Amino acid sequence: MIMKFLVLHGPNLNLLGMREPGIYGNQTLADINFLLDELSAELGCEITPVQSNSEGELIDAIHSSVHDCHGILINPAAYTHTSIAIRDAIAAVGLPCVEVHLSNIHSREPFRHTSLIAPVAIGQISGFGHESYLLGLRALFSRAKNF
Ligand code: DQA
């Protein structure tokens, strides 16, 4: 059976490429999804990427993933620091989840140092630019096999 993963991109990540490139890099979201697709082909899994600027849509995507996904790779963006609702949705579906960030949230402003998502994730990968996503997918793939 082929493993399938929901890849969730939170608010403002649709602007990657033009958004504060000194912090988030020059890759667009399409570039990152393309690289994730290439890696999934290499690993032998499938990804469904979803980007939303709305908390409710991200929660709906998490709820739907329980029917056909084996795990969640999420960059919750600013909702990392604020959303009890996204955290509760991840806990509710019970799927293995890896949290990723392009920037190192721990070396930035103090309000970014807290993640409400981290306690319900297997782990967090932060600070490696677009490679955070690729490292995150590898980690999720290897953990989800044994979940
Ligand atoms: C981010 C870090 C968050 O603090 C910020 O709000 C984002 C992007 C990252 O990928 O580095 O939008 O999640």
- CA 86/CA 83 separation, integer angstroms: 5
User: 79 alpha carbon to ligand 1 midpoint, in Å?
Assistant: 9
* Probe target for ligand 1 pocket from 8, 32, 75, 135, with the most ligand atoms within 8 Å of CB: 75
Only one residue has tokens 């084996």, namely 70
- CA 142/CA 43 separation, integer angstroms: 10
Could you list the pLDDT tens digit for every one of the 147 residues in the chain?
A: 899 999 999 999 999 999 999 999 999 999 999 999 999 999 999 999 999 999 999 999 999 999 999 999 999 999 999 999 999 999 999 999 999 999 999 999 999 999 999 999 999 999 999 999 999 999 999 999 877
For residue 106, count other CB atoms closer than 10 A to its CB. 14
* Probe target for ligand 1 pocket from 105, 111, 126, with the most ligand atoms within 8 Å of CB: 105
Q: Is 101 a catalytic residue?
A: yes
CA dihedral 89, 96, 9, 31 (to 10 degrees): -170
Pocket (CB within 6 angstroms of ligand 1):
12, 75, 77-78, 80, 101-103, 105, 112
User: 136 alpha carbon to ligand 1 midpoint, in Å?
Assistant: 15
The closest alpha carbon to 47, from 56, 58, 39, belongs to 39
**Quick check: pTM over 0.95?**
yes
Q: Of 24, 70, 130, 133, which is the active-site residue?
A: 24
- CA 108/CA 120 separation, integer angstroms: 22
Q: Is 24 a catalytic residue?
A: yes
Q: Would you state the CATH architecture of domain 4-145?
A: 3-Layer(aba) Sandwich (3.40)
pLDDT (0 to 100) of residue 1: 85
